[in-house]
Structure 1
Amino acid sequence: MAHATLSPAAPQPAHVPDALVYDFDVHADPGLLADPHARILDLLKTAPPVFWTPRNGGGWVALTHAANYEASRDTETYSSEFVPADKMKALLASLPPGAPHIPQPIPITLDPPEHTKYRQPLQKVFSPKTIAALKDSIRELAGELIDAIKADGQCEFMSTVAEPLPVQVFLKMLGLPLERLPEYRQIVKEHMEAIDTDREGSMRRLQRIAAAMRDTVLDRKDNPRDDIISMLWKLEVDGQPSTLADMENYGVLLFIAGLDTVMNGMGLAMRGLALDLPLQAKLRAEPKLVAEAAEEMLRRYTFTVPMRVIKKPAELAGAKMMPGDMLKLFLPAADLDAKEFPQPDSYDLDRENNVHIAFGVGPHRCLGSHLARVELQVLYEEMLARLPEFRLDPAKPTVFHGGHVIGIESLNLVWDV
């Protein structure tokens, strides 16, 4: 990934002034792949607050906290319905009898009020109470993974801890077979890498995800267990019982979100800790500070880049946008905006008013934020309790990736045995 090829440049639309054009590829920008958050701090200094880039199909990128906050809350202008609801209904109705269902990651691809109707039933599945009940099993798994590498004095953190921890937790929660973990991760990775370059192929990839889950989904209807898929079968959407189509829509959303995002947050935070030995010492001495430390890590190394499509003429931070334009909500930049967070590049455990938007803001705020917080906090506690001071391996540089979830491909840590 370190030498990814820039995507072809799209033509500049007539309504985009030259002053707002900035060449930036969210998947392959060399600076982003060298050190993502250093590059993002540079973007905030050198690029307009909202700019148009010819890369990734051409579209707008919102950098500032104010612009991201405004666009996230105004769903009528900045829409998540990339295919309008009436068009999607017509498309599904036109499919021949027996054709496979085209799943949509609902409710993330809907706007209110439809979004609210589908999101409401999921709130119970991811409530703080439900997630709190999982904390002990998350801690047990984290302990097992860390103990397995402890004697080696080194590890590649992403493959040994960051990937198996949240992915196994999520597969267990959903009720999917753990032995298929590598296959599931590969499907999600391919989907995330191709979102910008192959939007038409997105439907095929979502069908593939649904197909990978279908046996389990159908089995749980007749043989419910203590897992999310069984819980989803019991939900009612708008007063109607869940259908297989509902289950596949919910399933692809949870699958994509649960199998990719948190592991990247873990990798970025562990790199941050490996670079800040005084912080490690402080948190080891005062473990009760870990919850606050986790929040500042989320701000300092925010990693998700949601997409929106413009539905009516709009102006955002001086940028005039037209219907059909695409917009990336660059949340990692929003949380490094000096207007909102003084000295944004410094990790400050005592930062006041640390109201980061790592989980988004507005109606689409991340549904799994309770789970992510528990997983991140437990991981930090267990890493600090079970390992001595860990550092970056100077012989093996960190490899990053860009995209809609910015993160780390490989992170090599060392410690004294």
Structure 2
Amino acid sequence: MTVDDRFAAGADALRADPALSTFSEVVTGPVTDWATDFSHTAEEWAQDAIGIWDDLRQRCPIAHTERFGGAWLPTRYEDVAAVAYDTEHFSSRAIIASNVRPPRSLAPVGTAPPISSDPPFHHDARTLLLPAFTRTAVSRYEESTRAFCHSLVDALAGRDVVDAAADYAQHVPVRVMADLLGFPPEDGPRFRHFVENALEGIDLPPEERLARSSHLFEYLLVQIRDHLEHPREDLTGHLLQAELYGRRLEPAHVAGTMALLLIAGIDTTWSAIGASLWHLAGHPDDRRRLVAEPELRATAVEEFLRAYAPVTMARLVTEDLTWRGVQMKAEDWVLLSFPAANRDPARFERADEVLVDRQVNRHAAFGLGIHRCVGSHLARMELRVALDVWLDRVPEFTLADPDAVRWSTGQIRGPRTLPVRIG
């Protein structure tokens, strides 16, 4: 078998054999009660998730639904943290809750290591990525990121109303991730398509979701082949040369990690940038303060990450158990809503307020436990630079039509449509 054949086989393995996966009936329709029938794919969730979390935290801190084959939603910080740290009872082999459960045989590696990996494999897979995401390594991309953000603002010249999400926020991590992985920057529109397929098509029939995932891995195979034929120093090249336990990484491991970086590294960051701009467009006092006091922006970035944390991760219950008073069944999903945890008044003072000068801010935007985001330094850099350039170049902007703002559904929450008026 050639190297190319091995990687093609590895990509096929990641799609999960339908005969081994477990499929649940797709349940759609309006939510009847968020405590007993929640759906993070509902439009009401997209538009008012914060209000839903607050309501559930008070009357039903651990919500349940029969959708997706059974799922739970803790909304208190202490409960979210408890699940995140308990790798014995909650597996990470699949982190996107849907109507498809990949086979248990994928553990401990999972489909997208290390985020889908369980101990002890997780530690070693994560260690391979750490050098690429140190502060020093990330700093190499700051100048080019800043220049790219300026070029995006240049392209807005002469327009009174722009879409701050589609015209600005969504482009920044696409370019950074293309540079990091060594992918053609002109493939950006394809990246956005991959993200939507992976994260927003949860209610599609399982066979369609599996078919759509093939497009991503076909693309990754092309990039792997190109790197094998034309070796170069980027993160893809690093993964192809990396060794674990004395041998090169398995093809499925390489392709899965590339998929993780491409999907998670893009949507999470563009959502954080977009949510920050949405806040500033609707809160002129905060906007004016950050324009006048640029030294406060780093603190504001942490507060935006707390208040508008984009990421909810999923776990699978490993065995039937009673947990915090509820009866969980093996293979139930548990959604770890880090955004809900960050809004818990038992953890944060004035949790429902956005304080751009908040000094004590140990938020969970990047997760908790062993799976805390390995790319947090990169995400912070992108968010800080994107806001710096925008505020310096576009100091006056407001929401052009608040009702036209559209937030994403699914486990990554951020504005997809954000019309703002400049000047």
Q: Tell me which residue corresponds to 2:42.
A: 28
Matched, 1:80 2:97: no
Residue 36 (structure 1) shift: 3.1
Matched, 1:184 2:191: yes
Matched, 1:48 2:55: no
Alignment match of 1:226 (pick from 229, 233, 245):
233
Deviations 1:298-325 (A, max 9, x none): 0111111111011134444332323222
Matched, 1:175 2:182: yes
CA 1:143–1:405: 2 relative to 1, 3 Å: same
Matches of residues 80-159 of structure 1 in structure 2 within 5 Å?
80-82=92-94, 87-88=105-106, 104-159=111-166
Amino acid at match of 1:74: D
Measure, in 1, the Cα distance between the counterparts of 2:79 and 2:65: 17
Q: Tell me which residue corresponds to 1:351.
A: 358
Amino acid at match of 1:26: H
Residue 111 (structure 1) shift: 0.5
Amino acid at match of 1:79: S
Amino acid at match of 1:87: S
Deviations 1:202-239 (A, max 9, x none): 55444331211222212212422232111222211222
Residue 183 (structure 1) shift: 2.2
Give yes or no for contact 2:57–2:76 (8 Å, CA) kept in 1.
yes
Deviations 1:332-353 (A, max 9, x none): 1111011011221111133343
Q: Tell me which residue corresponds to 1:15.
A: none
Measure, in 2, the Cα distance between the counterparts of 1:145 and 1:269: 17
Q: Tell me which residue corresponds to 2:421.
A: 414
Q: Tell me which residue corresponds to 1:248.
A: 255
CA 1:338–1:86: 2 relative to 1, 3 Å: closer
Residue 196 (structure 1) shift: 5.8
Q: Tell me which residue corresponds to 2:71.
A: 59
Give yes or no for contact 1:6–1:28 (8 Å, CA) kept in 2.
no
Number of residue pairs matched by the alignment: 391
Measure, in 2, the Cα distance between the counterparts of 1:200 and 1:358: 32
TM-score normalised according to structure 1 size: 0.86
Q: 3-state DSSP class of the match of 1:25?
A: coil
Q: 3-state DSSP class of the match of 1:131?
A: helix
Q: Tell me which residue corresponds to 1:68.
A: 80
CA 1:223–1:407: 2 relative to 1, 3 Å: same
Q: 3-state DSSP class of the match of 2:361?
A: coil
Structure 1, unmatched stretches of 5+, are 11-18, 93-102
Q: Which moved more, 1:384-393 or 1:246-255?
A: 246-255
CA 1:77–1:230: 2 relative to 1, 3 Å: same
Alignment match of 1:7 (pick from 10, 19, 28):
28
Deviations 1:341-376 (A, max 9, x none): 122111113334311101101111111111110000
Amino acid at match of 1:211: E
Q: 3-state DSSP class of the match of 2:421?
A: strand
Measure, in 2, the Cα distance between the counterparts of 1:315 and 1:389: 53
Measure, in 1, the Cα distance between the counterparts of 2:68 and 2:416: 21
Q: Tell me which residue corresponds to 2:6.
A: none
Residue 33 (structure 1) shift: 3.1
TM-score normalised according to structure 2 size: 0.85
CA 1:105–1:207: 2 relative to 1, 3 Å: farther
Q: 3-state DSSP class of the match of 2:370?
A: coil
Matches of residues 205-284 of structure 1 in structure 2 within 5 Å?
205-284=212-291
CA 1:322–1:370: 2 relative to 1, 3 Å: same
Give yes or no for contact 2:240–2:249 (8 Å, CA) kept in 1.
yes
Residue 125 (structure 1) shift: 1.6
Matches of residues 263-412 of structure 1 in structure 2 within 5 Å?
263-394=270-401, 397-412=404-419
* Aligned-CA RMSD value: 2.7
Measure, in 2, the Cα distance between the counterparts of 1:273 and 1:316: 40
Amino acid at match of 2:28: S
CA 1:395–1:63: 2 relative to 1, 3 Å: closer
Deviations 1:38-63 (A, max 9, x none): 43333333x41112123343311111
Amino acid at match of 2:88: E
Q: Tell me which residue corresponds to 1:97.
A: none
Query: Between the two proteins, what is the percent identity of the paired residues?
Result: 30
Give yes or no for contact 1:9–1:54 (8 Å, CA) kept in 2.
no
Deviations 1:59-110 (A, max 9, x none): 1111110000110011111111246886238xx9xxxxxxxxxx92112221
Give yes or no for contact 1:125–1:231 (8 Å, CA) kept in 2.
no
Amino acid at match of 1:40: W
Q: 3-state DSSP class of the match of 1:163?
A: helix
